[in-house]
Amino acid sequence: MKQNKTRFGRTIFLALSLAGLAQGTLAQTFTYNVADLCLGFRKTGDYQENNEVVVDIGQASGYVGLSIGTTIAVPNFSPSQLSPGSFTSLNNLQWSVTGYTVTGTYPNYPKDTLWVTVPRSSANVQSTPPTRLRTSNQQTIVPEIEGIFLGAQRVSIGVGVSNQFNTPFFEQESIVNYPDYILTDFMGGINDPTEGTLQDTWPEDNLEITTPNAFSGSVRSDLYEVRPLTDAQGHPIVDPHTGTNGPAYFVGYFQFNSNGTMTFTRAASSTNSAPPPPPTLVIARINSTATISFGTTNGATYTLYFTNSAGLRQPVANWPSSPTTIIGDGTTKQFVDPLTSANRFYQVGAH
């Protein structure tokens, strides 16, 4: 049932929203945009309390676009909203940050890009970056992250009155009153709801970090931008930050303090100073036309070179080339070559 609720959530919430209009504007309900980051707090197991909390902390681009080394206060919640407002204390409190994109909604980002936090086991040591997955894998994760936002919106509509615990950015979720829409329904694992695995769609370790039993000082969790490794057609996607098909990009880290405040520090390079790597080509031929697809690095210039079997002994720089070039933006691009010979080989140069 839970999966159906997520899949048809937009229709359900639209109907509820329209019904709410007939009652007048009683509340400013929780709202969100695609590519917003969602901060979630909960307690589970022996430490479970009456509420969970979801906070919209703004667009992912606002964090990725910060200058290197910049530290900002994470917005849209106050310490008192957390404790004593929602939890008796900040001890044994699990938290994470997630976000997602869908088709055509966020410029320069491919479909099914994810943002997730990975806990640090040592405060001053970066966690291991997650592995980027194919679009077909990452698209199964998106509905769970979206479900966190939609669940908070459903609770907000149900509460019906604006107060400090029901705002456009902050939602306190009663476990008793809204058991089917709380954070745990989407963040928790199927086999173990205390684990932050997004209903076991996230294949790596727990995404949540937990404060100690007697919390003092601070805990840190790293934010990663996880672009798909390939697009829906199987074309490779080069990460424009790193210029590679390697692991997810380290954006920076969140620090949650025992006084209830949170900061974010931009701690990774936002540009790629190394030469762009040679792209991996996917070549398709239909009749007398060849299409050469390849992943690009942001800002790199790509040139198509071609030759016949007799020219393979020559340096690629001496091969004939296409008169047009392509500027990379981190997505998959294509050269189209009208074949004049079946005996043709291709290389794409990048600089």
* DSSP letters spanning 6-41: HHTHHHHHHHHHHHHHTT----------TTEEEEEE
Q: What is the pTM of this model?
A: 0.73
* DSSP H or E segment with residue 157: helix 142-159
E strand segments, 8-130: 36-42, 51-59, 71-73, 94-100, 114-119
pLDDT surpassing 90 at residue 245:
no
pLDDT surpassing 50 at residue 10:
no
The pLDDT assigned to 20 comes to 44
Residue 5's pLDDT band, with cuts at 50, 70 and 90, is very low
Range in 135-144, 214-223, 239-248 with the lowest mean pLDDT: 239-248
* DSSP H or E segment with residue 335: strand 332-338
How far is it, in rounded angstroms, from Cα 239 to Cα 241? 5
The pLDDT assigned to 26 comes to 53
How far is it, in rounded angstroms, from Cα 113 to Cα 34? 11
pLDDT surpassing 60 at residue 273:
no
For 25, the token pair is 């504007």
Range in 126-130, 243-247, 253-257, 299-303 with the lowest mean pLDDT: 299-303
β-bridge mates for residue 16, sequence order: none
Q: What is the CA radius of gyration of the chain?
A: 24
As a whole number, mean pLDDT of residues 244-271 equals 89
* pLDDT tens digits for range 187-229: 999 999 999 999 999 999 899 999 999 999 999 999 999 999 9
Q: Rank 22-31, 177-186, 226-235, 291-300 by mean pLDDT and report only the highest.
A: 177-186
pLDDT surpassing 60 at residue 8:
no
The pLDDT assigned to 299 comes to 67
Q: What is the DSSP letter of 230?
A: B
* pLDDT tens digits for range 158-169: 999 999 999 999
How far is it, in rounded angstroms, from Cα 177 to Cα 38? 22
What average pLDDT does the structure give for the chain?
A: 88
